[in-house]
Amino acid sequence: MWHFVRLSWRDLWRNTRRSLLTGLVMTFAVAMMILFVGLGDGAHSQMIRSATESYLGQIQVQLDGYQDSPDLEHLLSSGHLAQVDAALKGMAGVKAHAPRLATGALISKKVPEPEDPDDLEAYRRMTSEGAFVVGVDPKAEREVSTLVQSVIREGCSDKSRTDCPPGRFLDDEDPYPDNPYMGQMVLGVGLAGVLDVEVGDTVALNTGGVEGRTFASLYRVVGLVKTGSLDINRTFALTHFSKLAAGMSVPGAASYVVVAIDDLDSARELALDLQARLDGQSPRAAVSPFKALSWRELSPELDVFVKLDQGSTMVTLVMLVMIVGVILANVVTMSSMERTREYGVRMAVGESPRRITWGLVTETVLLALLSGAVGSVLGEAANSYYQFHGIDFGMGEFEMTGVVLSTVYNTEVTLYGWAFSVGTVLFFAVVGAIYPAWKVSRLSPVDAIRFV
Amino acid sequence: MLWAMAWRNLWRNRRRTLLTVAAIGLGLAVLVTMSSFTEGMKVMMVEQIAQSSLGHIQLHHPDYLERKTTGLVMSSASRLLELVRDVQGVKGASSRLIFSGSIRSSLSSTVRVVRVLAVDPAQEQAFSALDDKVVEGGFVSAPPGTSDPDAPARMRARKGIMVGRKLADQLKVTLGSKVRVDTAGFDGAAVAMAFYVTGILETGTDAFDQGFGMVNLKDMQEATSAGDTVHEISVMVGDPSRVAEIARSISHAISQADGATAMGPTSVAPWWEVLPDLKQMLDMSDAWMGVLYMLMLIILSAGILTTMFMVVFERKREFGVQLALGTGPSRLFAGLVLESFLIATLASVVGLLVGAVNVAYIVAYGLDLSWFMEGFEFAGMFVENVYKGAANVKVFAEPTVVVFAGTVLMALWPAVRVARMSAIDAMR
């Protein structure tokens, strides 16, 4: 057996040019496929990463029912929060967590009425806007999302102005702890633009509290956030968690707890794990009041978008495999047919057709393995390079259905990407060798030698 | 003479030529199919988004897109709409008032952010695909009792609203429930308005299911004493490839109309200016496809190069004899290039034929990806399980030119090597 492989190996190098050429195609095919799969996977996890890190989080713990009825009856109490803290403590794979309180509200700029009642332009500058108000704990928030880093240096939305006051994120501690009607606020840059508000201005917030009461309070704008998500930029207003909770008369309560994890792919498993830990804390209750949800359940739309992206990558991958298949099979078939004469001579001196057939297949497999090794090195080298440097399409960042997409593509190095590429090449190389091998096994030596 | 010889040479080894033509041709067919697929995805996205309410072209007050302030309206709305409709190529148009604010109901303690479009139901129904997505009640219909002359005045003054499924669930409202919308009036001050739910919409897209309401334009114009003003006129065109041209015609028609100055300033923007993100997304997908295309081309070229080398060097002996008999190297070179030219032509024909069959199939039936996306039962507006291809000249021409040129170019190298050989070496 070993002897046979060595013979095939030698046969391979009797015609160096031919083998090199065939090997070159195989090498290229392996390298390109590895790079392709790497790019596809890289774009994919980047999409999930940016979508979850900008705000959503990879996992959220809510009260069961909050997802469908995000109302004040489904808030986590401070007792619940302590339980969630305990469950998360020491859990492997969890980076950090932070509570948030969220509500819709109408937000308006606080300005004096225009002196001249006929001054239409002055009226046109005033406006109110629907806003998604989120109470955050600035210290904890820093660890779970990129919201804090998204604060822009300029405190106004008009880029052409040079006299913008500087902006910052909310202070770690609420500066007005005893005044329930005054707080600090950070606005999305688009929302600030619509309201014509800059740092230092005061905005009025109007939303609902318990028992249908309307709750109104004032906030001083301290900074603007600009994320890749238009949705956040246009509708988000951030304030202190404790302040918003007190204002809505639900002190200490939170809408949900955001959990940041290390490995994106394990979001679902970790959510299940966390659910089990939360259930275990209240063994006497028939049903645990908590629900731990991964981003897929939190945003079905994002899930669909990611699947759509996978679908189109899959289609292109199938097309790539087809091209590789056609080309490889052709090259292998041609280079084997070229040797019909040689086979005739070998048969004439007594070698069995069976042995020749197997020799041909063995040679092809050897060549494919060798090319696969070289191609893997090249492909994975390119892959690892782009993993850190990215392929820059030079178009900045943009957003689609809430997903921030960067136009710098990073690749991802995976075992299956490698195995898939080498496997495909091996498969088509063997397919290409089968036809000539079959043909050879049926030839008579005389015909074969005559074969042009 | 050279042509005839090249042609005959090609068929001296039929098997080899056919294999080569088949490989390059099939490679081309795959590129054509892929091209059609990506083009189709682009068309699908633009069309579905256009039909959702965006339209292909939008008219606004010049500052509106940037500021979105309620006060920035266009006056003489009905006259503008008439003008737009008369422009050739315009299929439909819908005028709207847009309010952003918060919404709540007495049935739930939650407050949600909402964007309310005030539309003329008849215009909007003819215009957008949202009409098909109503799952309960009617499309922006009036609450029961409003048309009854015997009903008390407060009943007759009720206004209807159509909301998304998720929003309705979150507010715990059903048909007939009352909701309250807080928003900015035209004078900038906050106003509260009451509506009765008369329709529920389910699209599968959060933008419509969660933070969206649609009300009657007349109701809103009366309630806010807005008169004949709107924020937006959205235009659908018959042929999406003529959007830029039709947008210019609309601008022109408005500026030439009688009393143009009285109508106040209006800006006409094609969808890529209204939603630069969508445009960027499509450009991006183009660039992305460009990269994939490159990867495929590299593999294809390597394959073609190898094939050509083999085709040529298999015949080394033959060339040696030709050289020995006095054929000039340049003639040998020309002959080989002609052969590659013929191979490229044949391969293009094969590729285009097979490609056309593929394209015809994916244009007619599409590629059903539901087998791949398990549990993908999402009847969304922007999401289809079946990806359809598109057919236009670009889809066929681009890959053909690239593959044709690639084949001839890749044959140059081996041809040069042959022309440089000495007769004696070659015959050995």
B348 found inside a domain? yes
The count of domains in chain B is: 2
B95 with B242, same domain? yes
What angle do the packed helices A16-51 and A353-389 form, to 10 degrees?
40
Nearest partner of B391 among B35, B42, B46, B29, judged by Cα: B35
**Do B15 and A402 lie within an 8 Å CB cutoff?**
no
d(CA A101, CA A241): 6
List CB contacts (< 8 A) between A28 and chain B: 298-299, 302
- The reported pLDDT for the residue numbered A401 is 42
Q: Look up residue A7 and give its two tokens.
A: 């013979």
CA distances from A446 to A347, B15, B100 (A): 9, 20, 88
Of the candidates B23, B283, B376, which has its C-beta nearest A395's C-beta?
B283
pLDDT single digits (tens) B41-94: 778 777 777 777 788 999 999 888 877 778 888 888 888 899 999 999 998 899
Of B215, B233, B265, which residue sits at a domain end?
B265
- The reported pLDDT for the residue numbered A10 is 85
User: How would residue B369 be classed by pLDDT, with cut points 50, 70 and 90?
Assistant: low
B33 with B133, same domain? no
B45 with B66, same domain? no
Nearest partner of B59 among B207, B212, B263, B258, judged by Cα: B263
B367 found inside a domain? yes
**Do B302 and A29 lie within an 8 Å CB cutoff?**
yes
Of the candidates A319, A328, A402, which has its C-beta nearest B30's C-beta?
A319
Q: Look up residue B336 and give its two tokens.
A: 């080989």
**Do A69 and B169 lie within an 8 Å CB cutoff?**
yes
Cβ(A33)–Cβ(A320) below 8 Å: yes
B85 with B44, same domain? no
Q: Count of CB atoms within 10 A of residue A446's CB?
A: 11
CA distances from A405 to A133, A198, B39, B138, B144 (A): 24, 28, 21, 37, 46
Nearest partner of A388 among A79, A21, A38, A22, judged by Cα: A38
Closest chain A CA to residue B304: A327
List CB contacts (< 8 A) between B376 and chain A: 304, 307
B151 with B237, same domain? yes
List CB contacts (< 8 A) between A301 and chain B: 205-206
Of B239, B265, B291, which residue sits at a domain end?
B265
- The reported pLDDT for the residue numbered A122 is 65
Of the candidates A123, A307, A323, which has its C-beta nearest B188's C-beta?
A123
B24 with B87, same domain? no
B271 found inside a domain? no
Of the candidates A17, A105, A193, which has its C-beta nearest B111's C-beta?
A105
- The reported pLDDT for the residue numbered B7 is 87
B55 found inside a domain? no
Closest chain B CA to residue A37: B292
Cβ(A133)–Cβ(A239) below 8 Å: yes
List CB contacts (< 8 A) between A316 and chain B: 34, 289, 292
Of the candidates A301, A333, A400, which has its C-beta nearest B206's C-beta?
A301
How many degrees, rounded to 5, is the angle at CA B401 between CA A39 and CA A319? Answer: 35
CA distances from B315 to A182, B16, B343, B406, B414 (A): 90, 12, 16, 22, 11
In this structure, of B136-140, B190-194, B359-363, B385-389, the range with the lowest mean pLDDT score is B385-389
**Do B101 and A106 lie within an 8 Å CB cutoff?**
yes
B84 with B208, same domain? yes
d(CA B198, CA B178): 10
Q: How many residues can be counted in chain A?
A: 452
Q: How far is B149 from chain A (nearest CA, A)?
A: 34
Q: Is the pLDDT of residue B187 over 80?
A: no
B403 found inside a domain? yes
B66 with B205, same domain? yes
d(CA A297, CA A256): 14
List CB contacts (< 8 A) between B224 and chain A: none
d(CA B291, CA A35): 11
Closest chain B CA to residue A123: B187
Nearest partner of A32 among A374, A427, A337, A400, judged by Cα: A374
* Residues in contact with A405: Cβ distance below 8 Å, sequence separation at least 6, in sequence order: A46, A47, A50, A228, A397, A398, A399, B281, B284
pLDDT single digits (tens) B142-151: 888 788 888 8
pLDDT single digits (tens) B12-36: 878 778 888 888 898 899 889 888 8
Q: How far is B292 from chain A (nearest CA, A)?
A: 7
**Do B184 and A128 lie within an 8 Å CB cutoff?**
yes
d(CA A352, CA A441): 9
d(CA B193, CA B220): 10
Closest chain B CA to residue A432: B19
Taking 50 as the pLDDT cut, the residues of chain A under it are 395-407
B88 with B209, same domain? yes
B88 with B16, same domain? no
Between these two residues, A187 and B241, which has the higher pLDDT value?
A: A187
B273 found inside a domain? no
- The reported pLDDT for the residue numbered B40 is 82
Q: Look up residue B191 and give its two tokens.
A: 């106003």
Of the candidates A21, A35, A129, which has its C-beta nearest B306's C-beta?
A21
B111 with B253, same domain? yes
Nearest partner of A226 among A148, A285, A150, judged by Cα: A150
DSSP B74: B
Q: How far is B141 from chain A (nearest CA, A)?
A: 25
Give the type of residue at B300.
L
ipTM score of complex: 0.73
Mean pLDDT across chain B: 84
User: 3-class SS at A160?
Assistant: coil
d(CA A255, CA A231): 19
CA distances from B10 to A36, B19, B21, B167, B427 (A): 36, 12, 11, 70, 21
B134 found inside a domain? yes
d(CA B311, CA A23): 16
B286 found inside a domain? yes
- The reported pLDDT for the residue numbered B262 is 66
Between these two residues, A72 and B292, which has the higher pLDDT value?
A: A72
List CB contacts (< 8 A) between A203 and chain B: none
Q: What residue numbers bound the domain in which B225 lies?
A: 62-265
B172 with B310, same domain? no
Q: What is the interface size between A and B, counted as CB pairs within 8 Å?
A: 245
Of the candidates A32, A105, A316, which has its C-beta nearest B299's C-beta?
A32
List CB contacts (< 8 A) between B100 and chain A: 129-130, 194
d(CA B380, CA B49): 12
b/e per residue, A26-46, with b = 16+ CB within 10 A?
bbbbbbbbbbbbbbbbbbbeb
Of B205, B238, B265, which residue sits at a domain end?
B265
User: 3-class SS at A437?
Assistant: helix
Cβ(A36)–Cβ(A127) below 8 Å: no
- The reported pLDDT for the residue numbered B162 is 95
Helix/strand number for chain B, H first, E second: 16, 12
**Do A130 and B22 lie within an 8 Å CB cutoff?**
no
